[in-house]
Chains A and B, each alone.
Chain A
Amino acid sequence: MKLLLTGNEAIARGAWEAGVKFATAYPGTPSTEILENVATYPEIVSEWAPNEKVALEAAAGAAIGGVRSLCAMKHVGVNVATDPLFTFAYLGVNAGAVLVTADEPGMHSSQNEQDNRNYARHAKVCMFEPSDSQEAKDMLKEAYAVSEAYDMPVLFRMTTRVCHSKSIVDCSDRVEVTDKPYEKNIRKYCPLPAFARGMQVKLADNFKRLEDYSNNSPFNYIEDNGADVGIIGSGVAYRYAKEVFGKSVSYLKIGFSYPLPMEKIAAFAKGKKTLYIFEENDPIMETEIKAAGIDCIGKDKLPAMGELTPDRVRKALLNEDPQIIVPNPEMVLPRPPALCAGCPHRGVFYELGRRKDLMIFSDIGCYSLGLMPPYNATDAMICMGASISAGHGVQKAFDIKGDHAKKVVSILGDSTFFHSGITSLLDVTYNKSNTLTIILDNRITGMTGHQQNPGTGYDLKGEASPEIDIEAMVKACGVKNLISVDPNNLQIVQEAIEWGLNVDGPAVIITRWPCVLKKFSAQDNEEFPTAFKMVANVDVEKCIGCKKCLKSGCPALAFDHANKKSGILKETCVGCGVCAQICPKQAITVEVR
């Protein structure tokens, strides 16, 4: 049966066909849809974990326990999961385990462009790299066989273009795999130094055997077009090479990319006048091939940053510029993402942005948009959970310097708080900091497209699950100054911020209002009966055209330049009332839709 699948859907399909029984992930673009699709297969127990470290540990445990397991995350998620990864590699598996890393050449939705092929080398795990959806499915199945035959977790590198591109996949049925019995074996599963040394040797031996596998793997193959120019390519970069050069060169396609098939590479290189290495991001294959004494051209000509798309290849290697039609650049307005109409973060960022006495450490999620105009609120961001702990560090520096011009506000969402904000908050209370933390609880994981989390009351399969109380969690972290507010009431938000900045010791404000795009649960309907059922209206007689309402940055507002009056886009407005509270002339009212 042929289906048109994204790479992420193909991974899910491959997991199902491979007899996987347990899968877990923390959402993150471009990996999120992997688990969302895995969860549609009833044979696979599928979970959202609170963070990537927890996910990989659970997947490792399932593999030790005797069923094939899958774990998926975005590239920076693997940073969080490295602690278990490095030692899981020593332990090895019982049933097969695969960790999918979704890398982001081009940084379409990420804060860095790290190349997780480096982790295969660093953690000593083998790696597959598909170039399209068919390969994603086929290689994933093979990855389980390799994981079990060579007793190690497999790292599986996807990239945004493979994750989010659709191509045709020839699908087959699920093959049930016999569960592995669990047997206690402390020499295998307890990496005390005395045992870990043995594990290290076993791992090295398995890698030696994997070199043979790599040289003979069906996923590392030569396409000989009789040319004296050769291209060695991995991932979608191989597809880009073929797009540009077609049959005018010969190819060595690398699908199993660590350890590299050095014998096959040497044989391919023999007699080639020129050898190019096509890989996105770091010169990893290039470095290893050069170290083997094989002359090749890579990043000295091809870009080391961003995607290796065909247009960039043509420019770099053929010095070809496409013939393009260019619009008048002055007319093209950028369209950056914006907080949605009705977004519960709007009121908080409106109020924060008005103050000049704050150093705002933000976090990863929709609230990263708080740095944009008209709010211009945010000072800094690093990674998941860093708002609280890095904010703590900034405040300490201010205190050490005796600099009291600004006070630190840390701001993050509910899912990010569960992910890694809790330990950061412990740092704040334990080390007697006095920062203000704002937890924007919008009842869902928003930016990645609405995944459940421990605070929502539902699990990945949509089944009811214990709802973790953020207030209780904050109190348990030792915070004495805690207040929960409605983020759409600007007066209350303003007073809460003022209170939080002036109380003795650390303070936490929790806002609780659902994401406007969230599909409401029964509980949401009960708790927020009026949410998004209202609409704003401008009284043009009262409107003086001062544009103050536009400072809310709401996409449902439109200013009529001809008449110098504000207006509301009725189809977009959901009546949160933030603009109405900003209006100095009470010209905006909110009514039931």
Chain B
Amino acid sequence: METKNIVLVGVGGQGTILAAKLLTTGLMEAGFDVKMSEIHGMSQRGGSVSSLVRYGDDVQSPVIEIGSADIVVAFEKMEGLRSLEYLKPNGKMIVNDTEIFPLSVIIGATSYPDNILEEISSKVNLRVMAATEMAAALGNPKVMNVILLGSIIKSMGLTDIDWEAIIGENVKAQFKDLNVKALQAGMDAV
């Protein structure tokens, strides 16, 4: 098979790294060759973060080239806009309908655009998710990341993998049920 490319983007602290970890673990256990690249460093200090996940028969490069992602999942709207160029022409974007203000907005130097979703949907196939609200409704806003993971799994046709077991192996026992529910909610939403 041709190598598939999934881009997860967000802001430091949003849980992209855990989502990518669960995703790559599942892909490996399903028998794919997998590579994932992340840039850490100053990300905890509120910077942009991305996890690039590639899977197939034999994956060489750990990075995803611009113009080649099958799907980009943005945990925050501005990060979705910033990552448009990762998408291949017929690729799909999922954006969590959440705003996190960068410093220039916080200090009042600029304002956060109110038409990001319109801009994205005018150019690509966009699915907007209210994952933060969905997570809060499940009882913990933090599982927003697993809801978005569910949307990736469904969109990429990876539902046959035993995700419940993978969640069980990678999150604390008391959070397993919550995360399994979150994953299902994300799958149902796309």
Q: List the interface of chain A (C-beta within 8 A of B).
A: 2, 4, 29-30, 108-109, 132, 160-161, 164-168, 236, 239-240, 242-243, 307, 309-311, 314, 322-328, 331-340, 366, 369, 372-374, 447, 449, 517, 547, 550-551, 553-555, 557-559, 561
Are A164 and B37 interface neighbours, CB within 8 A? yes
B24 interfacial contact with A, CB 8 Å: yes
Complex CA gap A331/B82 in Å reads 9
B119 interfacial contact with A, CB 8 Å: yes
Are B106 and A167 interface neighbours, CB within 8 A? no
Least CB distance from A576 to B in Å reads 15
Least CB distance from B94 to A in Å reads 15
Complex CA gap A164/B81 in Å reads 25
Q: Which of B129-156 contact A (CB under 8 A)?
A: none
> Do A4 and B106 form a contact, CB below 8 Å, given A165-B35, A310-B63, A327-B82?
no
A-B pairs, 8 with minimum CB distance: A109-B41, A322-B67, A337-B45, A165-B62, A243-B61, A337-B42, A337-B47, A324-B67
A-B contact pairs, 12 of them (CB 8 A): A160-B39, A161-B63, A166-B35, A240-B61, A310-B63, A324-B84, A326-B84, A333-B78, A333-B105, A335-B78, A340-B46, A550-B108
Complex CA gap A168/B36 in Å reads 10
Complex CA gap A550/B107 in Å reads 5
Q: List the interface of chain B (C-beta within 8 A of A).
A: 11-12, 24-25, 28, 33-48, 59-63, 65-68, 78-79, 81-82, 84-85, 87-89, 101-113, 115-116, 119-120, 123-124
Are A547 and B108 interface neighbours, CB within 8 A? yes
Are A338 and B46 interface neighbours, CB within 8 A? yes
Are B65 and A311 interface neighbours, CB within 8 A? yes
Are B106 and A553 interface neighbours, CB within 8 A? yes
Complex CA gap A531/B96 in Å reads 32
Are A369 and B40 interface neighbours, CB within 8 A? no
Least CB distance from A324 to B in Å reads 4
Are B67 and A167 interface neighbours, CB within 8 A? no
**Which residue of A is nearest B12, CB measured?**
A337
> Do A332 and B82 form a contact, CB below 8 Å, given A242-B60, A555-B106, A558-B106?
yes
Residues of A within 8 A of B12 (CB): 337
Residues of A within 8 A of B68 (CB): 322
Residues of B within 8 A of A167 (CB): 34-36, 59, 62
Residues of A within 8 A of B124 (CB): 325
Complex CA gap A109/B48 in Å reads 13
Are B41 and A30 interface neighbours, CB within 8 A? yes
Are B120 and A327 interface neighbours, CB within 8 A? yes
Are A325 and B87 interface neighbours, CB within 8 A? yes
Q: Give the contacting residue for A558; candidates B28, B101, B116; CB below 8 A.
A: B101
Q: Give the contacting residue for B116; candidates A161, A325, A331, A338; CB below 8 A.
A: A331
Residues of A within 8 A of B59 (CB): 167
> Do A310 and B45 form a contact, CB below 8 Å, given A164-B40, A555-B106?
no
Residues of A within 8 A of B111 (CB): 561
Complex CA gap A333/B45 in Å reads 17
Residues of B within 8 A of A336 (CB): 47, 102-103
Least CB distance from A130 to B in Å reads 12
Complex CA gap A310/B3 in Å reads 14
User: Knowing that A30-B41, A310-B63 are A-B contacts, what are 9 other residue pairs whose CB atoms are under 8 Å apart, sorted by A's residue number?
Assistant: A4-B25, A132-B35, A164-B37, A239-B60, A240-B60, A322-B65, A335-B11, A335-B47, A335-B48
Complex CA gap A327/B113 in Å reads 13
Complex CA gap A309/B62 in Å reads 9
Residues of A within 8 A of B81 (CB): 327, 331-332
Complex CA gap A239/B60 in Å reads 5
Q: Give the contacting residue for B102; candidates A30, A309, A334; CB below 8 A.
A: A334
